[in-house]
């Protein structure tokens, strides 16, 4: 007969050893899916443990110095063996490197267990199209010079090359350069052969105008895309271009109008013959300044100083920036109306514009030569007033000849004709004004009708239905359905915005919690692991943003229509 006490003791020891063995077999582990990556690639940091596992705050801060980190989600799994069940929770983080080098993933204390230190090597991307081995996706960064004067044009070109299928290609943020003006001058797509392989190239060209001397850093651009890996498998790819450093030199002259350009010229046209100007007539002089490598805003205004022989009336200048393979071509057009007040010759001095020739590295001048205008008498002008009687010598008074009566009749006839012309002109102007007023009020009425149609409640009803549908889909675990419902709601909520992906929504919202939930949704879609997915937090964050927007709209309405 077996001793009951001995049997009980044996069972207790067995259970104790089993529990110790279970604890020993379920530690917290950390691993990388790859230990060597390129700068334009990502690595996955995977944490596993019995309970919820996440990167501690102190370790997260260390990692953020060298990586952009995105939580891709959690996955739980339970397995049973010999009447014992074990639960394992897996948490995945995507690491996007900011720099090239060898980096350590520090040991992390999670749930009382310390993980091991990991190493991740980040290599430069192979962005040289002349190399024997070129990456299937890479960015070229090209600048036309490494030294430039302040405000001198620097041509910057990004070439985004890919030999594989990419989707949702987009810039992570707006491209800006500190202490510089940026102008997009060209955007194109084409195909080319690199080492016998066909590449699709998206090219972006910018003109960079540094605003102060010193060192100018052209930052890298970050581009996200989705790569198809066959079937329904996809991978999110992150590209980073190379930084460029440019030395910016100060203005070497004392000129107040500092104009560094490849070339600058000045030309003029006249509205009429400058040798047959009648006294009292107006003639317009149009002066055009064209500069390669400068914007129109940088070009100086042209002024003509009036004199006792003429008056000058400048019109508003027209400015235009044209683009070509050499960058910006600024065009400024100044028009000045000149009214001659006396008969004779009018001398207009030469016009000079001093500029810096960046090709010859010296000061140059664009010159418009001096010009002479000839003013002739106006036969229709009023006669010169008679001199005072005291200055006229005494003459015998003679009776007026008969012909003077005929001259008087002719003068009266001319005066009547002139009066009739003025009356006709006034009548035509009055009719035009009435027609214009009628057309204006008709257009205003049509605009009010269109505005009324745009404010119909149907859009609000559609938005409410889309919001209810989004709530229903968020209660399930179908990530694709949630994304489709979210996009449908967003397109109705922001009808004037182009929304084609969830990243477009992230750029529109300001709520950090909602941004995080949308990124979690993307992580679930790209990992193809929807088991255990919960989208209630996404809907709750969206509800908070929607309520704040509605409350703000009601507040503004109350301010517009106060109740007494």
Q: Please give, one letter per residue, the 3-state secondary structure of 153-222.
A: EEEEEEEEEECCCEEEEEECCCCCCCCEEEEEEEEEEEEEEECCEEEEEEEEEEEEEECCCEEEEECCCE
CATH class of the region 24-123: mainly beta
- The structure tokens listed for 194 are 């690199």
Task: Enter the tokens of residue 262.
Answer: 């490849």
Name the nearest CA neighbour of 289 among 257, 250, 327, 334: 334
Closest by CA to 91, choosing from 69, 72, 119, 108, is: 72
Distance set, CA 15 to CA 20, 85, 87, 460 (Å): 9, 13, 18, 63
pLDDT in tens, 368-387: 999 999 899 988 665 544 44
Buried (b) or exposed (e) across 428-443, using 16+ Cβ within 10 A? eeeeeeeeeeeeeeee
Classified as helix, coil or strand, 275 is coil
Rounded CA Rg of the chain: 40
Q: Distance between CA 382 and CA 160 in Å, rounded?
A: 73
Q: Is the pLDDT of residue 263 over 50?
A: yes
* 244-253, 318-327, 417-426: range with lowest mean pLDDT: 417-426
Q: Do residues 123 and 95 touch, judged by C-beta distance below 8 A?
A: no
Give the chain's length: 564
Extract the tokens encoding 438: 């009628």
Same fold, 24-123 and 137-249: yes
For 484, the token pair is: 């489709």
- pLDDT tens digits for 208-219? 999 999 999 999
Rounded distance between C-alpha atoms, residue 87 and residue 181, angstroms = 57
**CB 284 within 8 Å of CB 271:** yes
CATH number for the region 260-376 comes to 2.60.40
Q: How confident is the model at residue 486 (pLDDT cuts 50, 70, 90)?
A: confident
**Mean pLDDT, residues 21-28 taken together:** 55
Cβ neighbours, 10 Å, residue 264: 23
Answer yes or no: is pLDDT of 530 > 70. Answer: no
Alpha carbons 491 and 323: distance in angstroms, whole number = 34
C-alpha distances in Å from residue 288, one per residue of 285, 368, 401: 10, 11, 59
DSSP H or E segment with residue 526: helix 512-527
Band the pLDDT of 558: cuts 50, 70, 90.
Answer: very low
How far CA 23 is from CA of 1, 28, 85, 252, in Å, comes to 35, 10, 12, 75
Instruction: Please report the pLDDT score of residue 454 as a whole number.
Output: 45
Instruction: For residue 295, count CB atoms less than 10 angstroms from its CB and return exposed for 0-12, middle for 13-18, buried for 19 or more.
Output: buried
Q: For residues 408 and 68, what is the distance between their CA atoms, to the nearest angstrom? A: 96
At residue 211, φ and ψ (nearest 5 deg) are -105, -5
Eight-class DSSP state of 391: G
What are residue 508's phi and psi, to 5 degrees? -90, -35
Edge-to-edge strand order for the sheet containing 260-261?
A: 260-261, 351-357, 362-368
CA distance 448 to 285: 44
Tell me the domain boundaries of the chain.
24-123, 137-249, 260-376, 458-560
| Residue 269, pLDDT above cutoff 50 | yes
Mean pLDDT of 434-448: 67
C-beta atoms surrounding 224 within 10 Å: 16
Tell me how far apart the alpha carbons of residues 326 and 324 are, in angstroms, rounded to a whole number: 5
Two structure tokens written together for 90: 């897996």
pLDDT (tens digit per residue) in 103-151: 999 999 888 888 989 999 988 876 667 666 678 888 999 999 999 999 9
DSSP state of 496: T
Spatial distance between the Cα atoms of 483 and 242, rounded to a whole number of angstroms = 34
Residues 6+ apart with CB under 8 A from 118: 30, 31, 32, 35, 45, 104, 105
Q: Which of 260, 137, 249 is nearest to 197 (CA)?
A: 137
Q: How far apart are CA 132 and CA 194, in angstroms?
A: 9
| pLDDT (mean) for 497-509 | 76
Class of domain 137-249: mainly beta
* Residue 345 contacts residue 375 (beta carbons within 8 Å): yes
Whether this model's pTM surpasses 0.75: no
Most confident of 73-77, 95-99, 288-292: 288-292
Asked whether the beta carbons of 277 and 375 are under 8 A apart, the reply is yes
Rounded CA-CA distance 482/490 in Å is 12
Which of 384, 382, 378, 380 has its CA nearest to residue 276? Answer: 378
Q: Give the pLDDT confidence of 52-96 residue by residue, as tens digits.
A: 888 999 999 999 999 989 888 888 877 776 666 777 888 889 888
DSSP β-bridge partners for residue 36:
121
- In this prediction, residues 221-226 reach a mean pLDDT of 87
Q: Does position 301 have pLDDT exceeding 50, yes or no?
A: yes
Burial of 98 by CB count in 10 Å (0-12 exposed, 13-18 middle, 19+ buried)?
Answer: middle
- For the chain, the average pLDDT equals 79
Predicted local confidence at residue 389, as pLDDT: 44
Can you say whether residue 291 is alpha, beta or left, with left for phi > 0 and alpha for psi between -120 and 50 degrees? beta
Number of Cβ atoms within 10 Å of the Cβ of 545: 15
Burial (CB < 10 A; 0-12, 13-18, 19+), residue 294, is buried
């Amino acid at each position: 007969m077996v001793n009951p006490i001995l049997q009980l003791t044996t069972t207790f020891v067995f259970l104790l050893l089993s529990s110790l063995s279970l604890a020993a077999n379920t530690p917290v582990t950390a691993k990388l899916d790859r230990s060597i990556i390129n700068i334009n690639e990502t690595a996955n940091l995977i944490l596993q443990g019995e309970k919820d596992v996440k990167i501690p705050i102190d370790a997260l801060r260390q990692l953020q110095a060298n990586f952009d980190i995105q939580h891709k989600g959690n996955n739980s799994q339970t397995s049973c063996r010999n009447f014992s069940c074990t639960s394992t929770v897996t948490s995945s983080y995507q690491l996007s490197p900011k720099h090239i080098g060898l980096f350590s993933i520090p040991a992390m204390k999670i749930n009382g267990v310390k993980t091991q230190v990991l190493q991740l090597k980040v290599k430069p991307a192979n962005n040289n199209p002349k190399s024997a081995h070129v990456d299937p996706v890479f960015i070229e960064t090209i600048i036309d010079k490494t030294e430039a004067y302040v405000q001198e044009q620097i041509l910057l070109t990004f070439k985004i090359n890919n030999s594989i299928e990419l989707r949702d290609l987009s810039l992570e943020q707006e491209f800006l350069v500190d202490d510089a003006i940026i102008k997009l001058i060209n955007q194109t797509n084409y195909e080319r052969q690199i080492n016998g392989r066909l590449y699709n190239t998206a090219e972006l060209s910018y003109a960079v105008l540094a605003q102060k001397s010193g060192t100018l850093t052209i930052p890298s651009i970050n581009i996200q895309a989705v790569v198809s890996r066959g079937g329904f498998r996809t991978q999110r790819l992150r590209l980073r271009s190379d930084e460029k450093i440019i030395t910016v030199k100060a203005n070497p002259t004392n000129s107040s109008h500092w104009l560094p350009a490849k070339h600058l010229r000045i030309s003029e046209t006249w509205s009429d013959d400058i040798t047959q100007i009648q006294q009292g007539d107006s003639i317009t002089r149009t002066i055009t300044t064209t500069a390669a490598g400068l914007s129109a805003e940088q070009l100086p205004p042209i002024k003509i100083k009036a004199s006792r022989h003429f008056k000058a009336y400048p019109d508003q200048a027209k400015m235009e920036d044209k683009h070509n393979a050499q960058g910006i071509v600024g065009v400024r057009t100044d028009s000045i109306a000149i009214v001659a007040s006396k008969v004779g010759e009018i001398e207009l001095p030469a016009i000079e514009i001093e500029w810096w020739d960046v090709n010859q590295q010296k000061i140059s001048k664009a010159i418009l030569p001096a010009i002479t205008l000839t003013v002739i008498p106006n036969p229709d002008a009023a006669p010169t007033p008679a001199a005072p009687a005291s200055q006229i010598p005494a003459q015998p008074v003679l009776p007026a000849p008969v012909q003077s009566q005929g001259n008087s009749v002719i003068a009266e006839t001319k005066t009547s004709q002139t009066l009739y012309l003025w009356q006709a002109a006034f009548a035509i102007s009055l009719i035009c004004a009435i027609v214009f007023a009628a057309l204006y009020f008709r257009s205003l009425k049509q605009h009010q009708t269109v505005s009324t149609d745009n404010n119909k409640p149907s859009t609000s009803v559609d938005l409410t239905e889309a919001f209810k549908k989004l709530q229903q889909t968020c209660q399930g675990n179908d990530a694709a359905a949630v994304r489709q419902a979210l996009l449908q709601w967003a397109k109705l909520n922001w009808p004037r915005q182009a929304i084609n992906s969830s990243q477009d929504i992230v750029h529109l919202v300001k709520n950090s919690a909602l941004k995080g939930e949308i990124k979690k949704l993307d992580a679930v879609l790209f990992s193809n692991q929807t088991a255990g997915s919960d989208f209630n937090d996404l809907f709750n964050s969206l509800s908070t943003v929607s309520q704040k927007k509605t409350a703000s709209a009601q507040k503004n309405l109350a301010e517009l229509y106060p109740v007494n």
